[in-house]
Chains A and B, each alone.
Chain A
Amino acid sequence: MLEVNKENFEAEVLGAAGPVLVDFWSTKCEPCMALVPEVEALAEKYGDRVKFCKLNVLENRRLSIGQKVLGLPTIAMYKSGEKVAELTKDDATVANIEAMIKEHGR
């Protein structure tokens, strides 16, 4: 998964041609850490249809809040520079994430 931050978010996520998934996470967020292997497995499976990125909110707090992310875990889908779907907190389950990928992936 591609690590994105305040320097490359614009180019890698907002400026990307196809659908992009961004996993907003932090080392202090236990539910996020629990999701890591699951999201990585999804990245293996759907990597050809969706670009998988992760963003450490501890190092990119302003960027996260700018994306209206104020809670973890949050998994969002972007298309053509717009956030088109988002799962946060209890909704951020593997099943829901996979469904979101299927709906918004190519």
Chain B
Amino acid sequence: MAVRECDVVIIGAGPAGLAAALYASRARLRTLVLDKGTPGGQVRTTWSMENYPGFVRGMTGPELMDRFAEHAKEFGAEIMRGDVTEVDFGGDPKIVRTHGGEEYRARAVIVAPGAEPRTLGLPGERELRGKGVSYCATCDADFFEDLDIVVIGNGDAAVEEAMYLTKFVNSATMIVVHDEGILDATAVIRDRAFKNSKMKWVWNSVVEEIRGDGIVESVVIKNIKTNERTELEANGVFVFVGTVPKTDFLRGHVELDRRGYVVANELMETSVDGVYCAGDARIKYLRQVITAAADGAIAAVAAEKYIHEEEGFREMVLDPEEPVMVAFWSPASQASLDFLPTVERVAEGRRGKLNLVKIDIYKNQRVAGRYGVTEAPTMAFFRGGQLVEKVCWPTNESELAAVADKVIGG
């Protein structure tokens, strides 16, 4: 079993992971991206890319993702094939293992596993998958040249994919649950779809069953207003009804919501220090290439700060053999600024026996928080990597000197 070490491991090479890789590698972090497939994530299966700024026409999903990947590699990121099945975020370094048995160790991990198409669980859906039931228009469109298909879903993705399919099929019948003329898709997409002569519309209806002997032959449609059921002949059924996050491997390791999405804040920080989440797998308002890329950038910058903060603290405070006096100060606290000369004098008088480290609690909130430091000035003493004394708001030099001597003598 091979073991590899680096600064940041990014799980998933979709737009979120690749943007994170670009930012991380450009910040000179040793960056490794793992993906079980070709880089690009779900964008790989999207032909029309109309809403990524700067590319009005002539840019397909796969092309854009190739560029993302090239860009990340340009700065030194390494993109590798690997299906991550196991993680251990409990210690430092954090450990990621793949299906093939490879192990990766990193100071910080950015999870960007993305999402995959949601299935409906209809009778016949599972059995006829790849037999006419499809969730990927670009993968399967060619099979349906001059044939008749049914499309389930009426959001942006569903309508756009259906329009792509009309370049191949004889007809695409959209089964829409809403009243006539109403779609979940945005107006610009809706208007274009209504002008497409190959698209047919069945309103107030849902698909109840997909039928066929070995391959799709028909669907059973139910009108939700009349409860009337009709059977519609079809050679294919395309399902575009949203996505589910691919976060099973994270269950029990970072906090997920009921539906499996990762809980992360504005800095993309998950419930675990040094583990970030970017892209579609995160709880968020809008899941698009541009928001995934933005997540990736933020996660990488936050991870970089984390790594440097942790590294600095360990080198200066935890690793030295001699005792360390840490002055937690803040530019917002005049008292802490006024106290710094006193701190310097106490340290100067004990040169060689006591190291002084000054930490801005505003810039190093994680470290400060870990040791329960909420206000400045706070003086903390470390020996052999352990916190041995902490004094909040020391008032004068003699008080501080007494504690310092106690720690040195300890």
Interface residues of A (CB under 8 A from B): 26, 28-34, 57-58, 61, 64-65, 68-74, 88-90, 93, 95
Are the CB atoms of B37 and A70 closer together than 8 Å? no
In the docked arrangement, what's the CA distance between A80 and B180, Å? 53
Say yes or no: B138 contacts A70, CB within 8 Å. Answer: no
> Which B residues contact A (CB, under 8 angstroms)?
37-38, 40, 44-45, 62, 83, 99, 116, 129-136, 138-145, 214-216, 235-236
Q: How far is the CA of A29 from the CA of B132 in the complex (A)?
A: 15
B215's partner among A34, A68, A95 (CB-CB below 8 A) is A68
Contact of A70 among B44, B99, B131, B136 (CB under 8 A): B131
What's the least CB distance linking A56 to chain B, in Å? 10
B143/A30 in contact, CB under 8 A: no
Nearest CB in chain B to that of A33: its residue: B38
> Of B40, B140, B215, which one neighbours A72 at CB under 8 angstroms?
B140
Q: In chain A, what residue has the closest Cβ to B214?
A: A68
A65/B143 in contact, CB under 8 A:
yes
B145 touches A69 (CB 8 A): no
**A68-B131, A69-B130, A95-B99 are known contacts. Are A29 and B38 too (CB-CB below 8 A)?**
no
Of the A-B pairs whose beta carbons lie under 8 Å apart in the complex, a sample of 8, sorted by A's number, is: A26-B142, A30-B37, A57-B143, A68-B215, A69-B130, A70-B130, A71-B139, A93-B83
Q: How far is the CA of A33 from the CA of B66 in the complex (A)?
A: 14
- Which residue in B44, B99, B215, B235 is a CB contact (below 8 Å) of A30? B44
Give 5 A-B pairs besides A61-B145, A70-B143, A72-B140 with Cβ atoms closer than 8 angstroms.
Answer: A30-B38, A31-B45, A61-B143, A70-B134, A71-B143
Specify the chain A residue showing the minimal Cβ separation from B141: A28
Instruction: List residues of chain B with CB within 8 A of the CB of A89.
Output: 129-130, 135
**A residues less than 8 Å from B138 (CB atoms):** 28-30
CB distance from A37 to the nearest CB of B (A): 8
Q: A57 and B142: CB pair below 8 A? A: yes
Contact B130 A88 (CB under 8 A): yes
A72–B38 touching, CB < 8 Å? no
Task: Evaluate whether A31 and B37 lie within 8 angstroms (CB atoms) in the complex, with A70-B216, A88-B129 already known.
Answer: yes
Cα(A47)–Cα(B289), bound, Å = 41
Which chain A residues border B44 with CB–CB below 8 Å? 30-31
Task: Say how far A76's CB is from chain B's closest CB, in angstroms.
Answer: 10
